[in-house]
Amino acid sequence: MKNNTMAILFAADAENHLNDLTIHRTTASLPFGGRYRLIDFALSNLVSANITKIGIITKNNYNSLMDHIRQGRDWDLNRKNGGISVYPPYVFNSSHDVYKGKIEALYTTRGFMLEASEEYVVIANTNIAFNIDFDEVEKFHIEKGADVTVLTYKVDDPIVRKVVVSADKNNRITDMRLAVDADKGTQLCTLNIYFIKKDLLISLVDTAYAYGYDDFERDILQKSLDSLYVMNYEVKDYVAVIDRIPSYFKHSMELLDPKVRESLFYKHSTILTKVKDSVPARYGVDSSVKNSIIADGCVIEGTVENSILFRSVKVGKGAVVRNSIVMEDGIIMENATLDYTITDKDVIIKDGRHLSGHESYPMVVVKGKVI
């Protein structure tokens, strides 16, 4: 049965903080978990709840995103009614001014929302790996009589950019503010996923746009806590918010835990991605692999430990890859060593080279680099 909800996704959140990993791509198309892209999680969860009318707002470097999603076929979104609509990053009635914040971006999708028959809208960033039942979110929203439902999660010692939430015993949100250095311990923070009635969203965005506001959380939600019924929906399952190089590395390494993989990829929805026909991984006689994720098409002749190798990676004889992430088509030549290192796509590490970072901040090698 068709859901009464549509979705608007932001493809570019956090890319200014992901440095070398988003030079050539938008955040939504950042590879994750051996064969996925971050946008796969939002698309798969939405489709699982029969939310099939989806708008994606782009910003920078979105060619790889377009190549990945194509017409949405891999998520059963290449359909006559509904499917994926991609919006360029330009301000309404402008062909060259890029939007400054979410309010301007949402205003560009005004026609998309007005033409839709759906009653509700999911607004979400795509720098999040999650597995959420949106049917349950909608049920909660309706039962509570909420105007806006804010999805939240608990964070230990949140970084300054995160939005900290306070809620009363009935789960009504009473305060939203940016985290400060004094926010130590476990805090409730927004996931940047919101559930809201479409007509209300259009009205709020129209008013905020007219006043020149740009920040959705600060200029709409925070200012409306007294006048609107804004509810807290805490997500207690595993979620990974990718907003820095260290968080990308940390959450990638957590995937080596089978319980995390089960929760993230299969609990409520099966996470789908672009299909590629690849041969199985091949292991040489002297190869050694421990506690690692090895994607299709890899050729392993050296040692791989506590690492994630994407499709078609080659590890030469005598090479050692530990505590590292090697993206698609990477080549680690003979006797090279990687430790706490992230290599982007098409990277070549020459014979005998040794690269090492630190668990708290791994070394990153940009796409196409030869070292």
Do 87 and 202 lie in a common domain? yes
> Cα(276)–Cα(279) distance, rounded to whole angstroms?
10
Do 66 and 41 lie in a common domain? yes
Strands 331-332 and 314-315: parallel
Give the model confidence (pLDDT) of 252-301 as tens digits. 999 999 999 999 999 988 999 998 888 999 999 999 999 999 999 999 99
Selected residue with higher pLDDT from 130 and 99: 130
Give the model confidence (pLDDT) of 19-63 as tens digits. 899 988 999 999 999 999 999 999 999 999 999 999 999 888 888
Tokens encoding 162: 């995160």
Strands 120-125 and 186-197: antiparallel
Domains of the chain: total: 2
pLDDT of residue 2: 59
- One-character DSSP codes across 307-324: -EE-TT-EE-TT-EEES-
Last residue of a domain, one of 222, 242, 266: 266
> Cα(14)–Cα(39) distance, rounded to whole angstroms?
13
Beta bridge pairs of residue 294: 309
Residue 275 maps to a domain: no
Average pLDDT over residues 334-361: 97
Do 56 and 108 lie in a common domain? yes
CATH code for the domain of 96: 3.90.550.10
Average pLDDT over residues 75-99: 78
Name the nearest CA neighbour of 228 among 210, 205, 212, 204: 204
Directed axis angle between helix 134-143 and helix 39-48, to 10°? Answer: 60
CATH code for the domain of 345: 2.160.10.10
Question: φ, ψ for residue 64 (rounded to 5)?
Answer: -65, -30
Per the structure, the complete domain to which residue 94 belongs is given by: 5-266
Do 79 and 125 lie in a common domain? yes
Note the residue count of the chain.
371
Tokens encoding 35: 């064969």
